[in-house]
Amino acid sequence: MRQEQCPVCGAEDKKENRNFSLILCKKCGVTWTLIQSDLDMAALYEDEIYTVVDNRNSIFEKIIFQEASNVIHTVNRLLPDISPLRCLDFGSGKGQFLFQAKIAGWQAMGIETAPERARFAQEKYGVKVQTEQYSKGKIDSGNFDVLTLFHVLEHLPAPLAMLKELCDNNLRKGGILVLEVPNIKSWQHQWAGDKWMHLDIPKHLSHWHETQLAEKVEALGFKRVKSQYFSLHLGVLGNLSALLGKLGYGGNIIYDLKNRKKPPMLLGVGLIFPLSLLLEVFALPFRRTGIVRLYFKKNES
């Protein structure tokens, strides 16, 4: 795969840029990753970072469960008169969100094309997951009340076109769309620069911030109804990685934590975590946290 034009609007950048440069599209305002060499994108997701580890009893997993529960609680408040809610989690990974949705009484299913992750979700959490690559049309007869994409949009070659196809065919009118993406305007990105963990080049093909994401999605026939900016999972981890990078750390913090590798790094995490948390909390009122999570309601007309 190559990407030599904006994945959102198709505009090309006329300047000479090096491979994997970040390009700010002058036409639509989205930042995207220039890929001038042929990449096997499927192979990128077979590296050790994406290896499935069973850490169901870890504090890391408990944090993920708590954040999933917070999202579920928010959606329940936005759709108080519907029970049980039907939910499609697009890019459902290991199934943590689906599991919490199941506990909450939702009728939830996921789409996950990584076989090992889908199998883990099915076997360990007992949730429903389809592994077929989605291109168009309805999934399980469509008409879902809730559609969620957590850190998925930035991976898609044509993010808005895919999102429109998904929503037009699978989210009912008045339904809730939940999008969570890394925040390109975060302070942690400014501190870490091109070493920011959430750039994740070349896996991340587009890079978003709150204003542009809201504008693009509302143009598809939605109204923003809720915004959230804090994530102990990926927001604070982004700060940890940025601060450790200043001390010479150059690894992938998620991989090292879940595999409990590099004891000196683990010691550094313990020492720096309070500062990382404080910085993320301080960034909240300025909306400069590591992630942005937006809730949209699909227009009735």
Cα–Cα distances in angstroms (integers) from residue 260 to residues 2, 93, 182, 255, in the given order: 35, 21, 24, 8
Cα torsion 68, 238, 134, 116 to 10°: value is: -80
**207-264: per-residue pLDDT in tens?**
999 999 999 999 999 999 999 999 998 999 999 989 988 888 777 777 777 666 666 6
Residue with the larger pLDDT of the pair 265 and 85: 85
Closest by Cα among 186, 287, 202 to 237 = 186
* pLDDT value of position 271: 86
Q: Please name the residue ranges forming H helices in the chain.
A: 41-44, 59-78, 96-103, 115-125, 159-170, 187-192, 210-218, 234-246, 253-259, 263-283
Q: Give the start-to-end residue ranges of the domains of the chain.
A: 57-298
Sequence-distant (≥ 6) Cβ neighbours of residue 271 within 8 angstroms: none
User: Model confidence over 160-195: pLDDT tens digits?
Assistant: 999 999 999 999 999 999 999 999 999 999 999 999
Tell me whether the omega of the peptide bond preceding residue 7 falls within 30 degrees of 0, making it cis: no
Tell me the CATH number for domain 57-298: 3.40.50.150
Distances (CA, A) of 146 to 84, 195, 219, 285: 11, 34, 19, 28
Give the model's pLDDT for residue 28.
95
CB 100, CB 80: distance < 8 Å: no
State the pLDDT at residue 252: 77
User: How many angstroms separate the Cα of 128 from the Cα of each of 78, 119, 123?
Assistant: 24, 10, 10
Mean pLDDT of the chain: 93
pTM of the predicted protein model: 0.95
